[in-house]
Amino acid sequence: MRVPISDTPRLIYEINTRVWLSDLSRQYGANIDLNSVPPTEWDTIAQYGFHAVWLMGVWERSPAGIAISNQNVALLNEFRRTLADFEIEDNAGSPYCVLQYVVDPQFGGPAALASARGELARRGVKLLLDFVPNHVAPDNPWVTDHPEYFFRRGDHTLPEDSECYTTARGDSFACGRDPNFPPWSDVVQLNGLHAGVRIAMLDTLLAIASQCDGVRCDMAVLLIHEVFAATWNVPADQIPKTEYWMDLIQQVKVAYPSFIFIAEAYWGRERELQGQGFDLCYDKLLYDHLRDGNISAIGSHFSTDVAYQRKLVRFTENHDELRSSSALPPAKLEAGAVIAATLPGAVLFHEGQLEGRRTRVPVFLRRRPEEAVDLGRRTFYKALLVAVCHPVFSRGDWTFCRTDGWPDNQSAENLAAWLWDDGMERRLIVVNLSERYAQGQVRLPWQDPTDTQYHFVDPIAGVDLVRNAETIMGPGLYVELAAWKFHFFEVHRLYREASGHGDLHLHDGVRTIR
C-alpha cells in the first residue's frame, strides 16, 4: 500500500537541551545557550538526515518542584548513581514540572529559541518542543489565579490518602498521577474536563505553536476521557461531549495547519489517539516486544494496516528508557534499530544513542558523566541513517512479506521481512527475531519478465547476491541469519545487453548506500 508523502517528519532527534548545552559549554570552554550553539553542531545534526529536532525541556522549571525533588530519597540516590560527584545544584528540576511556558533564561530565553529554530530551518529541519497537558508545577500562576482548574482535597471524587496531595498557595491540591503508579509529588493535577482549563490550554498551545513546528505531548493518553474519568472517579454526567484532544488539535490546526502533534501513548490507545487528531503516536508496544524478545507479538505488530503504522513513532530508546547500549546485546540493538528505522511511520533517535552512550541521565540533572564514543556503534548508525534517508522510504509502497520454511525446519517463523518499492527503487529488510539460527524463503510480490535477474546488495552486512526471476517468483529468496541478524538489501533489476554478449547491467538505478 502506498505511504503518502507528508510534512510529518520521519527521522526525529531528541536532545536533552540542558545536558546538551552543558556538554557544549564544557567542550568549547564558554557558556553556550541556544543562540550561541556553533553552526557546526547544527550542521552535524542536519548531515545525519534528521527531519526534526525535539529540544526536550526548554520551558522554565519550578523552584518549588526542585525543593520537593530534593527531599525525595529515591531520586537523590538515582542522581548519585548517575553522577559520582553529584552536588545538590546539579538538580535543575524536572522539565515536566513546568513553571510557565516561557523559554528558560539559562537557555537564552525566547529570542535564543527563535535563533535555534532559524538555524534548523535553514538546514531543512523542523523544531519540536514539549507540551505537558496533565499537570503543572505547584507554583504555576494558575494555582493562585485559577484554583478551580485543579482537583483539591475534599472533592468528593478523590481519595483521602495523604501522599496524593501537596500544599500550594495555602491549599491542598491533588498531585498529578498516572493510575498505574504513585502520584508525582512535584506537580499538581489539572482537571482536563474543566472548560476553563481547555481554554487556557488552547491559548498555551497557540503560543507554543508560534515558536516551533510541533509538540510532543507528555502522557497524552491520560487525557482520553475514558482514562481520565477512571483515574479521577469522574461521574459520566460531568464528561464533556468533545474529547480533549479532538477539541484542542482541531482549533490549533485552524491557525497552524501544518503544526505536528505527537502523543506519548500507552495501553493500546494509539489508534484512538490517532483518531482524535494526532499525527504521530509513540509505539511503546514495539519497544516492549523487542526488549522482551516476544517474537509472535512482534510479527503480529508488523502485520497491522499501514494507515495505522504510518502514524507511529518507533524507537529503541528515549529519555524515559534505559540506553539501548546498556539494555540490549549488540546484535539485538542493531536489529532493533533497523526495524524501527525501516517500518512505516517515524523513528526517534535519542542524542547520545548514535555514539553508544550507556548512562541514562535522569531528566532532572543539568549534566551527565563523560563517556567515550563507541566507534563501532557510531559507524553502524551512520550507515543506517544514510540508508534510511533514501526517498524510497517516504514515497514507496510498503509490503509485509511472507516467509516460508520446510516440514523439518520451521525456523522461518522467526524471520520477518518487508519491502519498500516506489517503482524504481526497492529495499528489502529481513530480520531474525530470535536467539536461534533461522532459515527460510522470503516470498516477494514481483511480476517482472522471467529473464529478469535481481542483484541484492547489503552494504551494512557486506552481502552481494544475484538471483533470477524464476527463483524469486517461485520458492522465493532463500535467507539464513544468525540470532538477531538482518539483511538490508538494495534490490536492482538486471538485464542482458541487446548485443548478445551476455553482460549484466543495472537496469533501474544506482546504489545509494556506501
Q: What is the 3-state secondary structure (H, E, C) of 396-441?
A: CEEEEECEECECCECHHHHEEEEEEECCCCEEEEEEECCCCCEEEE
The pTM (predicted TM-score) of the whole model is: 0.93
Average pLDDT over residues 421-443: 95
Residues 6+ away with beta carbon under 8 Å from 112: 33, 34, 35, 36, 103
- pLDDT greater than 50 at residue 252: yes
DSSP secondary structure letters along 57-91: T-EEEPHHHHHHHTT-HHHHHHHHHH-TT--GGGB
State how far the Cα of 303 lies from the Cα of 445, in Å rounded to an integer: 16
Contact predicate 464/511, CB 8 Å? no
% residues pLDDT > 70 (the chain): 93
pLDDT tens for 285-314 read 999 999 888 888 888 888 889 999 999 999
pLDDT for res 485: 96
Contact predicate 142/100, CB 8 Å? no
Stretch among 163-177, 323-337, 479-493 having the lowest mean pLDDT: 163-177
Confidence band of 496 (pLDDT split at 50, 70, 90): low
Q: Which CATH superfamily includes the segment(s) 394-506?
A: Golgi alpha-mannosidase II (2.60.40.1180)
Average pLDDT over residues 166-173: 82
DSSP secondary structure letters along 250-295: HHHHHH-TT-EEEE---TT-HHHHHHTT-SEEE-HHHHHHHHHT-H
Contact predicate 213/127, CB 8 Å? yes
State how far the Cα of 210 lies from the Cα of 256, in Å rounded to an integer: 8
pLDDT tens for 375-389 read 999 999 999 999 999
State how far the Cα of 340 lies from the Cα of 314, in Å rounded to an integer: 5
CATH code reported for the domain at 11-131+283-389: 3.20.20.80
HSE-CB for 335 with a 13 A CA cutoff: 26
**The residue to which cell 524504481 is assigned:** 424
- pLDDT greater than 80 at residue 157: no
Residues 6+ away with beta carbon under 8 Å from 48: 11, 13, 354, 382, 385
Q: What number of other Cβ atoms are within 10 A of residue 228's Cβ?
A: 20
Stretch among 186-190, 421-425, 508-512 having the lowest mean pLDDT: 508-512
User: What's the mean per-residue pLDDT of the chain?
Assistant: 92
% residues pLDDT > 90 (the chain): 82
Confidence band of 503 (pLDDT split at 50, 70, 90): very low
Average pLDDT over residues 47-51: 96
Spatial CA neighbour of 198 closest among 156, 239, 161 = 239
**The residue to which cell 501522599 is assigned:** 163
Residues 6+ away with beta carbon under 8 Å from 67: none
C-alpha grid cell for residue 51? 527531519
DSSP annotation of 480 = E
pLDDT tens for 22-44 read 999 999 999 999 999 999 999 99
Q: Is the CA virtual torsion 155, 161, 164, 170 positive or negative? A: positive
Confidence band of 4 (pLDDT split at 50, 70, 90): very low
Spatial CA neighbour of 275 closest among 285, 261, 289 = 261
- pLDDT greater than 50 at residue 5: no
Residues of the chain with CATH 2.60.40.1180: 394-506
pLDDT tens for 315-348 read 999 999 999 999 999 999 999 999 999 999 999 9
pLDDT for res 2: 32
pLDDT for res 326: 96
Report CA dihedral (440, 417, 484, 435) to the nearest 10 degrees.
-50
Average pLDDT over residues 86-100: 97
- pLDDT greater than 60 at residue 70: yes
Residues 6+ away with beta carbon under 8 Å from 474: none
pLDDT tens for 197-240 read 999 999 999 999 999 999 999 999 999 999 999 999 888 888 99
State how far the Cα of 457 lies from the Cα of 483, in Å rounded to an integer: 21
Average pLDDT over residues 400-418: 95
Q: What share of the chain is helix, strand, coil (3-state, %, to 5)?
A: 35, 25, 40
State how far the Cα of 298 lies from the Cα of 414, in Å rounded to an integer: 10
Residues of the chain with CATH 3.20.20.80: 11-131+283-389
